[in-house]
Copies of this chain bind each other. A is one copy, B any other.
Amino acid sequence: MGPSIARGTRERILEVAEAFLGERGYNGTRLHHIAERVGVQKASLFHYFPSKEELYRAVLEHGVGDSERTITRALESRGTPLERVCQLVESWIELVAAHPQRLKILLRQSLGDAPPGYQTPDHDRLVALVVGFLTEGQEAKVFPPVDALATVLGVIGMVAFFFTSAPVLAPSWCGDPSSADAVERVKRHVTDVMHRCLAGGGEAGTGRRPAVA
């Protein structure tokens, strides 16, 4: 994180744009509104960014790197493999709670809300990092034989849903998903699920269902 005060106009534009892109999406965001909130004329935006699409790309790059650092750091931490997985989950949840807009932008991207012709980058490398950790644990018989890739993607899906869609589709879930209470509840639930799914070692887990129904 850079200095949080006395930012230049370019940084303020990026910040406001990130908020709008998260809240309204690429197609729904008006340069007009960004300029207004920054407190500048619309034409001035084109002094810093040649087009709306380039502004979009700049916002994306601006938010990249945090996730990767969080993941590698957590996997290298001390503790049992299960503790490290939970450490990773909790760190990532905090990251998401701190920057909900970034996750929303990624989700929108995956749904196709991006500049025309924009190639959505994949995140296979990052996912593979965690999947590899789980697989190694399974080979060492410390994790049960669950579907490792599905487990990782499932956690991402749960957390993403808790912080973006759930508050809207099921208001009974929580008021402000970024509140300390909500963050704590998500952490507790996800780590609880991880314990239930990854504890018990290499033998068939607690309640693995017998066969196809």
Could you tell me which A residues sit within 8 Å of B by CB distance? 23-25, 27-28, 82-83, 86-87, 90, 104, 106-113, 120, 122-124, 127-128, 146-147, 149-151, 153-154, 156-162, 164-166, 168-173, 184-186, 188-193, 195-200, 205-209, 212-213
Contacts and interface: CB of A to CB of B under 8 A. Distances in A.
Nearest to A23: B112
A209 B89 CA distance: 14
Contacts of A170: 122-124, 127, 149, 153
A109 B28 CA distance: 12
A25 to B, nearest CB: 5
Given A124-B171, A165-B157, A147 B191 contact: no
A111 B108 contact: yes
Nearest to A104: B111
Contacts of A157: 157-162, 165-166
Contact of A149 (B111, B173, B198, B213): B173
Contacts of A151: 189
10 contacts: A24-B112, A25-B112, A28-B113, A108-B113, A110-B165, A127-B172, A146-B189, A195-B207, A200-B207, A205-B206
